[in-house]
């Protein structure tokens, strides 16, 4: 189980994970003498570092992207982010780093070679993870490889180091972690395999960010991404979860109470009565998340014969039941389709569009119906890293580098398609006929591999939706203009009653303020004065008319004003 804190380490260090690096007391010598004596001490200390990792937020982040819309659009989606004021706010906080560096300055006090190698590797994993998030958010940041004391004016007034220096340092840390952490399979602990998937994620992000933002040396990072993903694939330690078959396996992977190590590399453990969360409550309470997939995401799911849905005649005006037919099985394992029943039940749920803004209700990671749907009642584990991502990274990095072959697709993307029974992606066909719909989404893709890159991006979006990667994908691909597009939902041909499951009974009634004509069996009414339709009395639900994205500014976040005032060597990010 990933532990949020170790009481032993906390009592010795007295360091808050949210405290700013400038606020830390210098009294480290006493605790290092008293604490760093055995391998068990090292384990206890590194247990406390796990809270640098996210938990349920990975299943919430997509609701502030073009994938999913919740109760309202967030600041980054609307383009209304503001420069934070307080020191250490807006993500510019360094308390975790000091804890990590303190360990790395003291772990060698322990005379246990095996323990020092393993736990120093874990500490460097966390430092790589910490700094990777900083680079994603801010670009250039100061690299601190040691503990800073209050009287160290030179380090306290340090300028931001170059992206090159910081990324090379991150890669050195993650390589050290891979080399020194044992190749053990542990569901809730950092292992060599966790370090490999993190390295692949880091290197893919940096390689594609550099490529699409016009920075040097992108090829080296793409090669590193391929190498890390390939090493994980060749290890044979993991495979895709297929229990339940193509119509259930994908949904079950996220809904099951306790993760297993078939596909899941690292998960946060939740247990009934001990540690719970409220994700199911957010998915099912009409006053909470109200998450719904966007129409262009739904459009991106293929037909069961492998052809694009957007190649279908009249796809733009298909109503719900028709558009859900003969689609990639992941669609109705991600959103509630016709005759939807919850995981573990054969009883269809009533159509309920009050709990989803767009009408495409999110069910990915929704546990069985019952007590888990109450506030704070869920205890299904949350996946942080899984094997499918390695397959996607491998294919994308090779395609962007120009070394992709059909054989590469067959051991990566086509494994994902096999899980849901879709035809294989053919590289030659994709490149000969790039999908115009996907091309309209990703304007920066060009070259001889355009078609297959678009298909790999489709696959990544569909496979990894609601796992917290979409915003960062758009940023690294330099596709921020997508944020300016409207977010639409389900299509309605007219006002009145609509049958969502083709059983002859009406489920939804759309009206302009008078719902008195709704049939008795209707379970949801939609007032178009509250949820507008694109064409007035017909069209798609129009929930968000699009945000603002400044290409010269919004790929990075701003630094807090107080930090800039305290350290005159820091510079604000462009445009802020």
- Render pLDDT for 249-283 as a digit per residue (tens, 0 to 9): 999 999 999 999 999 999 999 999 999 999 999 99
pLDDT higher than 50, residue 225: yes
pLDDT at 4: 36
- Give a yes or no: residue 41 inside a domain: yes
Distances (CA, A) of 220 to 168, 398, 476: 11, 12, 16
Same domain, yes or no, for 410 and 540?
no
pLDDT higher than 70, residue 536: yes
- If you count them, how many residues does the chain have? 576
pLDDT higher than 90, residue 25: no
Q: Sorting pLDDT into bands at 50, 70 and 90, what band is 31?
A: low
- Give a yes or no: residue 445 inside a domain: yes
- Asked if 362 and 293 touch (Cβ cutoff 8 Å), the reply is yes
Same domain, yes or no, for 410 and 528?
no
Same domain, yes or no, for 17 and 165?
yes
Residue 133: CATH number of its domain: 1.25.40.390
| The pair of three-digit structure tokens given for residue 326, joined into one six-digit string | 């003969």
Same domain, yes or no, for 445 and 519?
no
**Total count of domains within the chain:** 3
- Give a yes or no: residue 554 inside a domain: no
pTM score, whole prediction? 0.94
Same domain, yes or no, for 470 and 538?
no
pLDDT higher than 50, residue 428: yes
CA angle at 168 for the pair 165 and 169, rounded to the nearest 5°: 85
b/e 31-49 (16+ beta carbons within 10 angstroms → b): bbeebbeebebbbbbbbbb
Instruction: Give the contacts of 566 (CB within 8 A, at least 6 positions apart).
Output: 22, 87
**Number of C-alpha atoms within 13 angstroms, CB side, residue 142?**
22
Same domain, yes or no, for 406 and 518?
no
Same domain, yes or no, for 509 and 394?
no
- Structural domain ending residue among the three candidates 194, 211, 235: 235
Average pLDDT over residues 132-158: 91
pLDDT higher than 50, residue 5: no
Same domain, yes or no, for 42 and 132?
yes
DSSP string, 374-441: STT-B---EEEEEHHHHHHHHHHHHHHHT---HHHHHTTHHHHHHHTTPPPPPHHHHHHS--HHHHHH
Structural domain boundaries, residue 141: 7-54+88-235
- Asked if 452 and 431 touch (Cβ cutoff 8 Å), the reply is yes
- Give a yes or no: residue 533 inside a domain: yes
Distances (CA, A) of 349 to 218, 334, 369, 459, 501: 48, 15, 10, 28, 11
Same domain, yes or no, for 534 and 391?
no
């Amino acid at each position: 189980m990933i532990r949020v804190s170790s009481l032993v380490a906390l009592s010795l260090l007295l360091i808050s994970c949210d405290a700013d690096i400038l606020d830390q007391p210098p009294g480290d010598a006493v605790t290092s003498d008293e604490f760093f004596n055995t391998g068990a001490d090292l384990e206890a200390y590194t247990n406390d570092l796990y809270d640098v990792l996210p938990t349920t937020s990975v299943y919430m982040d997509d609701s502030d992207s073009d994938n999913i819309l919740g109760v309202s659009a967030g600041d980054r989606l609307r383009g209304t982010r503001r420069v934070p004021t307080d020191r250490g706010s807006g993500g510019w906080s360094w308390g975790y780093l000091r804890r990590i560096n303190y360990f790395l300055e003291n772990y060698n006090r322990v005379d246990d070679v095996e323990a020092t190698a393993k736990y120093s590797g874990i500490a460097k994993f966390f430092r790589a993870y910490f700094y990777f998030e900083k680079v994603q958010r801010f670009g250039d940041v100061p690299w601190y490889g040691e503990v800073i004391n209050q009287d160290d004016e030179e380090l306290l007034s340090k300028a931001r180091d170059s992206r090159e220096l910081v990324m090379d340092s991150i890669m050195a840390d993650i390589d050290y972690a891979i080399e020194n952490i044992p190749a053990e399979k542990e569901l809730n602990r950092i292992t060599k395999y966790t370090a490999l998937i993190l390295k692949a994620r880091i290197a893919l992000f940096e390689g594609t960010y550099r490529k699409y933002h016009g920075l040097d040396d992108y090829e080296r990072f793409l090669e590193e991404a391929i190498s890390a993903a390939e090493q994980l694939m060749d290890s044979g330690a993991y495979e895709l979860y297929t229990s339940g078959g193509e119509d259930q396996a994908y949904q079950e992977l996220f809904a099951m109470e306790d993760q297993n190590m078939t596909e899941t590399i690292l998960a946060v453990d939740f247990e009934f009565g001990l540690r719970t969360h409220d994700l199911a409550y957010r998915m099912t309470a009409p006053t909470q998340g109200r998450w719904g997939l966007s129409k262009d995401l739904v459009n991106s799911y293929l037909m069961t014969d492998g052809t694009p849905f957007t190649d279908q005649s009249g796809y733009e005006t298909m109503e719900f039941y028709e558009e859900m037919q003969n689609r990639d099985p992941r669609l109705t394992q991600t959103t509630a389709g016709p005759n939807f029943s919850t995981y573990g039940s054969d009883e269809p749920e009533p159509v309920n569009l009050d709990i989803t803004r767009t009408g495409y209700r999110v069910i990915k990671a929704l546990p069985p119906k019952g007590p888990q749907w109450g506030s704070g009642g869920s205890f299904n584990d949350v996946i942080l890293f899984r094997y499918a991502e390695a397959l996607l990274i491998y294919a994308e990095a090779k395609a962007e580098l120009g070394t992709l072959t059909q054989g590469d697709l067959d051991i990566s993307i086509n494994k994902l398609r096999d899980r849901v029974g879709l035809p294989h992606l053919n590289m030659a066909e994709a490149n000969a006929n790039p999908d115009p719909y996907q091309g309209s989404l990703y304007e920066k893709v060009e070259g001889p591999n355009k078609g297959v890159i678009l298909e790999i991006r489709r696959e990544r979006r569909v496979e990894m939706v609601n796992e917290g990667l979409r915003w960062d994908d758009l940023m690294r691909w330099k596709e921020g203009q997508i944020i300016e597009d409207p977010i639409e939902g389900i299509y309605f041909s007219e006002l009145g009653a609509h049958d969502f499951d083709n059983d002859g009974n009406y489920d939804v009634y759309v009206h302009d303020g008078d719902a008195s004509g709704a049939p008795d069996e209707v379970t949801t009414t939609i007032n178009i004065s509250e949820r507008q339709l694109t064409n007035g009395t017909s069209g798609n639900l129009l929930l968000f008319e699009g945000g603002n994205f400044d290409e010269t500014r919004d790929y990075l976040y701003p630094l807090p004003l107080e930090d800039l005032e305290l350290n005159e060597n820091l510079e604000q990010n462009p445009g802020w």
